[in-house]
Structure 1
Amino acid sequence: MLTARTTLTAATALVAALTLAGCTATQQNETENAPAASASPTAEAVFNDADVTFAQMMIPHHEQAIEMSDSLLEKDGVDEQVRELAEQIKDAQQPEIDQMTDWLDEWGADESMGPAGHDMGAMGDGMMSGEDMGRLDDATGAEASALFLEQMIMHHEGAIDMAEVEVENGENPDAVALAEQIIEDQTNEIAEMQDLLAAL
């Protein structure tokens, strides 16, 4: 009797152990065979033609705004508030140029749009002509302050138009966010410049 009971107990324990092992093996196989969770694409990897065009066009646009600001800051007799605004524009737009340049590098796109690229002047984006830049370079004092404001208002309006196209058509979340920031910042600066212009 004791022997039979011992044998039965041992057999029961063995079945339980095999069953547990089987469950464990099944769970392990299911885990090993389960498809790996696909990593979500990085912001840099998600982009379309609108994002590339936005960066390619906004970089030279920002570079001209910095050039205009530098021209003003080299002059004497310029309104101090206008001078501070020019510094503000430089401080905001150079980091944005650097960011967009990095994006184009990550996307494998050229910084220049090349001969088949867009005609920025024809798109009404507020870019100053060589003659416009020459007028600003030659202006002095209060005349330079007023001309800078007039030109920069048009320049900002063009940037806002470009940014609105990106918000509507872009795919890269960081580029769209930058476009939204440009719209907000430059809309506020246009209002500030209009006030300064009226006060000169």
Structure 2
Amino acid sequence: MRTFSTPTAHRTTRRLALTGAVAAAALLLAACGGSGDSDGSMGGMEHGSKASATPSATASASASASAGAFNDADVMFAQMMIPHHEQALEMAELADGRAADPEIKKLVEAIEKAQDPEIRKMRSWLKAWGRPENAGHGGHGMPGMMSDADMKALAATKGKDFDRTFAELMIAHHEGAVAMAKTEQKDGADAAAKQVADDVVRTQDAEIAQLRKILDRL
């Protein structure tokens, strides 16, 4: 007895074939992601297909950037903010045994708690994007970065002198970080990177105001 394919069976077969082709194409596009063109052209701004998102990737989007939509501004933000945060942590480490003001000590703890995890996030983004952590600038030209002389001067102080110098230098350092974060807010494409930029602007603006109040009473 011969069996005949029904129109419904043909449609099901075609749908399955099409679904497989779309999934394969999405995986290929995601694997070929790169930094976007700075002029915002279509050839550079889209990196991978939204159809390639999986439940696990969606769940981790808030913590780590994917190899999806990102651009040169996102890459530069991570590459520059990593050494910027690292220097803030170096400044915070100097407070151990030198800081006297309880509010300065508490602020140091807040800086360490916020910036160390952000450094790990940004490193994970660059790895996912296939971009180097060091873009060759070595921290030079970034707003708010302390010179070697600034760091040595801070390390040479103690007590109230340390508190005052730390507050002055950290205000300038935070202002530089806020400036870079605002550029990312305006020009970036990756949602996770823009979220960190939002956090930097919010938290460091508040810390700048707090540091200025500390200076007024020291």
TM range (shorter): 0.7 to 0.9
Deviates further, 81-90 or 152-161? 81-90
TM-score (norm 1): 0.80
Counterpart CA distance in 1 for 2:97 and 2:112 is: 14
Distance in structure 1 (CA, Å) of the matches to 2:164 and 2:127: 38
Map of 2:206 onto structure 1: 188
Displacement of 1:52:
1.0
User: Offset of 1:30 from its aligned partner?
Assistant: 4.2
1:122 alignment partner, one of 141, 166, 190: 141
Matched, 1:71 2:90: no
- Computing the radius of gyration from Cα coordinates, the structure with the larger value is 1
Pairing 1:25–2:9 present: yes
Structural mapping, 1:42-191, within 5 Å:
43-45=65-67, 46-75=69-98, 78-114=100-136, 117=137, 120-123=139-142, 125-191=143-209
Q: Letter of the aligned partner of 1:44 in structure 2?
A: S
**Correspondence 1:197 to 2:215:** yes
Query: Unmatched 5+ residue regions in structure 1?
Result: 1-17
The offset of 1:100, in angstroms, is 0.6
What is the root-mean-square deviation in Å for CA atoms of aligned residues?
A: 2.1
User: Alpha-carbon deviation of 1:120?
Assistant: 4.2
TM-score (norm 2): 0.74
CA distance, structure 1, for counterparts of residue 175 and residue 7 of structure 2: 67
Deviation string 1:33-81 (CA, Å, 9 cap, x unpaired) is 54546524565112211111111110110010010011112316x1011
Deviates more, 1:97-106 or 1:154-163: 97-106
Structure in which a larger fraction of residues adopt helix = 1
Flag the 1:27–1:121 CA change in 2: closer, same or farther, 3 A: closer
User: Does the CA-based 8 Å contact 2:81-2:177 persist in structure 1?
Assistant: yes
Shift of the 29–105 alpha-carbon distance from structure 1 to 2, 3 Å rule, reads closer
Task: Quote the Cα distance in structure 2 between the aligned partners of 1:165 and 1:26.
Answer: 53
- Between Structure 1 and Structure 2, how many residues are aligned? 177
1:98-156: CA deviation from partner (whole Å, max 9, x where unpaired):
11111111111111112xx3x74434x10000110011000111010011001000000
Structure 2 counterpart SS, 1:57: helix
Residue pair 2:83, 2:139 contacting (<8 A) in 1 also: no
Once residues 137 and 144 of structure 1 are traced to their aligned partners in structure 2, the CA distance between those partners, rounded to angstroms, is 8
> In structure 2, what is the Cα distance between the partners aligned to 1:134 and 1:182?
26
What are the ranges of 5 or more consecutive residues in structure 2 without an aligned counterpart? Answer: 27-50, 58-64
Task: Report % sequence identity.
Answer: 41
Q: Give the Cα–Cα distance (whole angstroms) in 1 for the partners of residues 186 and 161 of structure 2.
A: 38
